[in-house]
Each structure stands twice: as structure tokens, then as C-alpha cells.
Amino acid sequence: MNFEAVKDWIFKYVLILSLFLGILLLYISELFQTGSIFKTVSSSAAGIILSGGVFAAIVKSKQYSTIFGDLLRDIVFSNEHLDKRKDLEEIWEKVSQALCRQKFKEISVSLHDNVKNSYLPINHEYYYKDHNIDIIIERDEENPGYVYVTETLVTKIISEDTSKKYYKFSGKVPLVPSERDLTFYELNDLKVNGKKIDCKEILKCTKNSTSLQFSLEYECSGETSYEIRKSEKKRYNLKANPYKGQNAIWLYENFSVDLSYPKDMDLEFLNVGVLNSWEISARHSKTNNRIKATYNGLIFKNQGFLVIFK
């Protein structure tokens, strides 16, 4: 005897069989006197079989399966449930890999890895908010071809927890080898949440025959928001370094650049990889030119702006 076939047949006709057996037992129970144990047993069995058959029929119905599946999905993918999971990265990987394979099969691995490593908060637990830079460019009258660049930065580091975060910046300024002493970098001020930071030990500045390089890393902890204020000054040869720009080192929300430069200097402001366009307004005066560029929204890693001086 094929038990699997019998089981499938019973499951297929479970409602009909339950109705038949239930009604049969109810009929049999009527043959016994009231109070008889046989009447009680047969009527109870009839009720159990009838209710069980109806429930089984509902469970196996397509409509019930759809309702139950939708309810289960609502529970599994609810924000409350997802916030408690510790394997969100693994879940995202499986979903994104499946999506990449469906849409971009041949480049799915590279696409997934690049998006994960460059744009998702896997290795970072913070972002920059309201990143504002004020830049003043002036000619060095004593050294033709050289300019002074004074830059003031105000930004915020936003995090969901108070663990260690690191404020970092770095730069590289090309120089004229025969005039390397004329190129310099000064960090005039650095404040974190109003506290002045002593940068003597953490500012790294080196100069070789082709460039001046500088970098700083400062540890922030104990807060979920840090206001950064930085003021710096450089002098360099404009022909050796006819560019001024900044690329995001991580996520930025809102970015503005206020740039003042001499009247006899021309420039071009370029978008670097941003999804939308910078809004640019000019505010020239009799002594200098001034433009303000504003970007409202998210700027991702390595996106930003570039100014070319002509």
C-alpha cells in the first residue's frame, strides 16, 4: 500500500471526510439514551472531528496561506523586529546579492562589494552634518605667483552612541622645488564642542621636494554630537596648485562653501560625483569676487567639489 498516496488523498478530502464522520457520529449518538456514556463519547467525538476538519480545510486554503504569509512578513520585516536583530549586515548581503544577480549578473560581485564598503555604515557609526567652509584667497604681493589661503571650517559629527569617534583631515600641496620654503601650512585653531585642542602632538606635517603634506586625527568620545571648528592658513604657488576642492571622507548631510578671491582671478566651480547640483550664487564687490555654493542633501564618500583657478 502506498501510504503517501493515501495520506495525500485524506488531506485533499479532509473536509468531506470530517463532515461525513462527524454527522455519522452525531446520528449514532442519537441512538443512545440521554446520560449514556456512549452518547456522550460519540457526540463529543463528532464535535471534535467537525471542528478539526473545518480548521484543517481553512489552513490548507490558498487564501489563508496568503494572509498568514503576509502577516508573517509584516512581523519579520517590521522596524521593531529589525532593530533587535544582530545579523542585519548578513540579511542585507543576501538581499542585495540576490538583487545584483537579477539585474547585473556579470558585475554583481563588484557592485555589491563597492556599495557595501563605500556607501553603507558598516565601518562608520557617524556622519557629518552642516559642513560649512569659508575660504579667503589673497595674493602675496611680496612673492608674485603665490597666494594666501585662509580657510575656516564649521561642521558637526553626529552619532547614535557615545563610543570613540575620530575627527580626521589631511591635505597635500604641490610646491615649486626651488622655492619650497615659500610654501607653508598653519593650523591656527581647532575646537571641539567649544574646547580648544592642543594640536602640537597630533598634527603631522612633512615637506619634500615636490609637496607639503599634513594630517591630523583627534579622538572624540562621550557625546553623540561634536561641533568642530577649525581655522588654517596656507601659502603656495598658484600655478603649481591651481585647484581647490574637497571630497567627502564619509557621509555629509548638507555642505556649503563661501569663497572670496581677487577681482583679477577667474575660476570654475565643478561638481565632483554628487547626485544633484550645487546651488551657486555670486556676490561680487569692488575689491573682490565672492561665490557661495550650497548643497542640500547627502554627499557620499569621495564626492564633493573642485575649483579650478584660471
Higher pLDDT, 67 or 282: 282
What sign for the dihedral angle of Cα 272, 136, 216, 309? positive
**Cα distances (angstroms) measured from residue 247 to each of 147, 186, 303:** 22, 21, 5
Confidence of residue 98 (pLDDT cuts 50, 70, 90): confident
Fold type of domain 126-309: Immunoglobulin-like (2.60.40)
Q: What is the pLDDT of residue 97?
A: 73
**Cell numbers representing residue 136 in the block:** 579667503
Task: Name the range with the highest mean pLDDT among 19-33, 63-77, 82-96.
Answer: 82-96
Higher pLDDT, 65 or 157: 157
pLDDT more than 70, % of the chain:
68
Confidence of residue 58 (pLDDT cuts 50, 70, 90): low
Q: To the nearest whole number, what is the mean pLDDT of the chain?
A: 82
Confidence of residue 191 (pLDDT cuts 50, 70, 90): very high
Confidence of residue 245 (pLDDT cuts 50, 70, 90): very high
The one-letter code for the residue type at 5 is: A
**Domain spans in the chain, listed from the N-terminal domain onward:** 3-63, 126-309
* pLDDT at position 35 over 90: no
Among 32-41, 99-108, 224-233, 244-253, the minimum mean pLDDT is found in 32-41
Question: Residue 164 in 3-state DSSP?
Answer: coil
Please state, in angstroms and rounded to a whole number, the distance separating the CA atoms of residues 183 and 233.
11
CA angle 283, 284, 286 (to 5 degrees): 145
- What is the pLDDT averaged over residues 17-39? 64
Higher pLDDT, 107 or 11: 107
pLDDT digits (tens, 9 = 90+) for 123-171: 678 899 999 999 999 999 999 999 999 999 999 999 988 999 999 999 9
* pLDDT at position 20 over 70: no
The one-letter code for the residue type at 144 is: P
Please state, in angstroms and rounded to a whole number, the distance separating the CA atoms of residues 254 and 298.
6
